[in-house]
Amino acid sequence: MLLPRQKTPDLAVDTLDHGRFDLASETSERGTVVVVYRGQHCPICLPYLKQVEGLADDLAARGFGVIGLSTDTQDRARVMQERAGATKMMFGYGLDLQVARDWGLYLSEGRGTTSIGVEEPALFAEPGLFIVKPDRTLYFAAVQTMPFMRPDLSGMIGALDFVIAKDYPARGEYAGPLPIAAE
């Protein structure tokens, strides 16, 4: 299980316009926002990626890099990038399924053609949102088992401003023994 304040697993994918992305080589001052989306077949992913793209300048101004990525092929990722109008955030593709699992992402089996007429891949990763600090420790994570109910991004910039101003620590880090419940 991924834990805040602990080092994240390796993460390296090809990107559409920025060469190879390797989290270990990222140099953003405050960290990297990693947005995993389901793939081209997902109609709910598109507005979410548009929201992330809309935050890219604000994130960069606060010292964060941002990448959206999926298990999709290069061609399918290009379609999503173009449909999202994404020119500011990096767009990765070909996320390895084992790496997705290492990151705590849920995997789903394809179920045919979606409501927008696009075939689901045989296997793909469900959504996740991560903030990783420059030392590669996890700061924030949210993973979903389906496309619905992802974290609301409208408060992200305000939350990051608070985190930066207060030097707020990553939470949810405790993995020690639990106290025995009183009877």
Establish if 179 belongs to a structural domain. Answer: no
Residue 87 is which amino acid? T
Domain membership flag for residue 174: no
CATH number for the domain that contains residue 64: 3.40.30.10
Question: Is position 135 within any domain?
Answer: yes
Does residue 181 fall inside a structural domain?
A: no
pLDDT band at 162 (very low <50, low <70, confident <90, very high): very high
CA 4/CA 6 separation, integer angstroms: 5
Q: How many domains does the chain have?
A: 1
| 146 lies in some domain | yes
Question: Which residue segment(s) compose the domain that 153 sits in?
Answer: 14-21+28-158
Residue 169 lies in a domain: no
For the stretch 14-61, pLDDT in tens is 999 999 999 999 999 999 999 999 999 999 999 999 999 999 999 999
Tell me the pLDDT tens digit for each residue of 80-123: 999 999 999 999 999 999 999 999 999 999 999 999 999 999 99
* Rounded distance between C-alpha atoms, residue 97 and residue 38, angstroms: 12
Q: Which residue has the higher pLDDT, 134 or 181?
A: 134
Contact 10, 95 (CB under 8 A): no
pTM given for the model: 0.96
Tally of CB atoms within 10 A around 1: 6
Give the three-class secondary structure for 144: coil
Is 178 within the bounds of a domain? Answer: no
What is the predicted pLDDT for the residue at 181? 80
User: Is 176 within a domain?
Assistant: no
